[in-house]
Amino acid sequence: MTLNIITSNAEETKALGKKLGSLLKAGDCVLLDGELGAGKTTFTQGLASALKIKGDVTSPTFVIAREHKSLTDGPNLVHVDAYRLSTLAEISHLDLVTDIEKAILVVEWGKGLVNDLVAEPIHIKIDHDNIDENKREFIINAPELIIKGLS
Ligand SMILES: Nc1ncnc2c1ncn2[C@@H]1O[C@H](COP(=O)(O)OP(=O)(O)OP(=O)(O)O)[C@@H](O)[C@H]1O
Ligand SMILES: [Mg+2]
């Protein structure tokens, strides 16, 4: 299912990310697309705020993946910059401590990435508005339960 949501500033984007974060469970994967500065990391910060995890979410540009351990018995967060990856399976060669199947995986630049790792990823495309520089459109492709939770 697809859902389109518009945010008018970074705070609204974080709130949307938080809402999605509260709907996720271990093993879920979110692929984020959108050009430089679209709001992929901002969205991930909101998503992370719904999870009880260690450390701040920052742009993982100079490391391929950053692991955030859960402070509870909830899932860890693995935040990936896939810019230099070509298949999702390469994530399993990254020497992560976290077991991906038990984590929540958020991948920036997931577009065009061959998905051979997770069955049903949530795909989110973030588009810029040409008129209002703070406006973003989120085109969310996700299973029905997630879409219902976000609507
Ligand atoms: N509606 C909005 N949603 C998200 N960010 C917004 C919005 N309006 C303005 N911004 C600003 O746009 C910037 C988004 O940066 P962010 O690092 O999240 O983008 P990104 O997609 O992760 O970029 P990169 O491709 O470099 O990783 C931030 O400075 C944020 O404050
Ligand atoms: Mg980023």
CA–centroid distance, 35 to ligand 2, in Å, is 9
How confident is the model at residue 69, as a pLDDT? 96
Q: Which protein residue has the closest C-alpha to ligand 1 atom 29?
A: 37
Q: Does the CA dihedral 8-64-20-33 come out positive or negative?
A: positive
What's the pTM value of the predicted model, to 2 decimals?
0.95
For domain 2-150, say whether CATH 1.20.1250.20 is its number.
no
Check if 37 has its Cβ closer than 6 Å to any atom of ligand 1.
yes
Q: Which atom of ligand 1 is nearest to the CA of 81?
A: 27
Q: Which protein residue has the closest C-alpha to ligand 1 atom 8?
A: 134
Ligand with the closest atom to the CA of 38: 1
CA–centroid distance, 60 to ligand 2, in Å, is 7
Whether residue 61 has pLDDT greater than 80? no
**Nearest partner of 7 among 121, 122, 124, 107, judged by Cα:** 124
**Residue range 111-127: mean pLDDT, rounded:** 86
State residue 5 phi and psi, 5-degree precision.
Answer: -130, 135
**Residue range 116-141: mean pLDDT, rounded:** 92
- What is the percent of the chain where pLDDT is above 70? 98
Q: Which protein residue has the closest C-alpha to ligand 1 atom 6?
A: 10
Query: Which SS3 state, helix, strand or coil, does residue 112 take?
Result: coil
Q: Which atom of ligand 1 is nearest to the CA of 7?
A: 1
Check if 41 has its Cβ closer than 6 Å to any atom of ligand 1.
yes
d(C-alpha 103, C-alpha 73), whole Å: 11
Whether residue 93 has pLDDT greater than 90? no
Check if 7 has its Cβ closer than 6 Å to any atom of ligand 1.
yes
